[in-house]
Amino acid sequence: MPRIVIDVDAVDRTPAAPNVTVERPSTDPSLAPNRRMPHRLAVQIIVPMTCQPKDYVEGELHRTVCAPKTCPLCQTERKLESLGYYSRGTTDDIGRILSILVRRFQCRDCHRTVSCLPRFAQPYRLVNSNAIDAYFNGRRTGFGIEQNIASLGRYWRRFAEWSAQLRDTLGPSFGPTPPGSPDDFWRLLRVIGPGLGGCTLELVRDHGVTLFGAYLCHRATVRT
């Protein structure tokens, strides 16, 4: 198992949007928070939504996210109930910061929470997945890249630092990954897609890691 990575670029400093109405948690007493349950047991999954950030916000598509059929932690079926939303930041297709609502659920059996992050948003990164993908593929204009060029440069350096451990984590399940530069490794990874968002979905679901590190909220869902 890779070490858990905490890095300064993983902090989303975007304030919550003002005047956001958030669905209240269920009043069912069986869903009351378990005070003895450590915070690290809250988990995050990536959901394969194909919309863009602006469409997600304007269409209130956070309301359309359905509960997973099975709890990713205890594997109990049909026990996840709505627990409202939380707010986080991402960017739109011209680089402006948006505040989005992320759907949360809680399991009736294990009382742990599951958040469902749309594929266009990158875990623990502010810039959206399409812009990161374009930058990693050599683009320096469009997708809001110019507005976030400094952050994107840090993201690439973080990927380069993490790439050796990521190779070890993927191992034989990903196929042969011969030694090479971070650019060579990215060219291998991008075929997982579609795009960097799709690659992230696969990495989180199957290996409990992202392109930038391993986080407890993802590691806990991987079945060994």
Q: Residue 187 to residues 195, 196, 199: CA-CA distances in angstroms?
A: 11, 11, 12
pLDDT in tens, 81-119: 999 999 999 999 999 999 999 999 999 999 999 999 999
CA distance 130 to 195: 7
Q: What is the pLDDT of residues 63-82, one digit of tens each?
A: 999 999 999 989 999 889 99
48, two tokens: 């394969």
220 vs 183: which has the higher pLDDT: 183
Chain-centre distance for alpha carbon 172? 24
> In this structure, are residues 125 and 155 in contact, taking their beta carbons and an 8 Å threshold?
yes
AA letter at 15: P
Extents of the domains making up the chain: 38-118, 129-216
Specify whether the CB–CB gap between 218 and 209 falls below 8 A.
yes
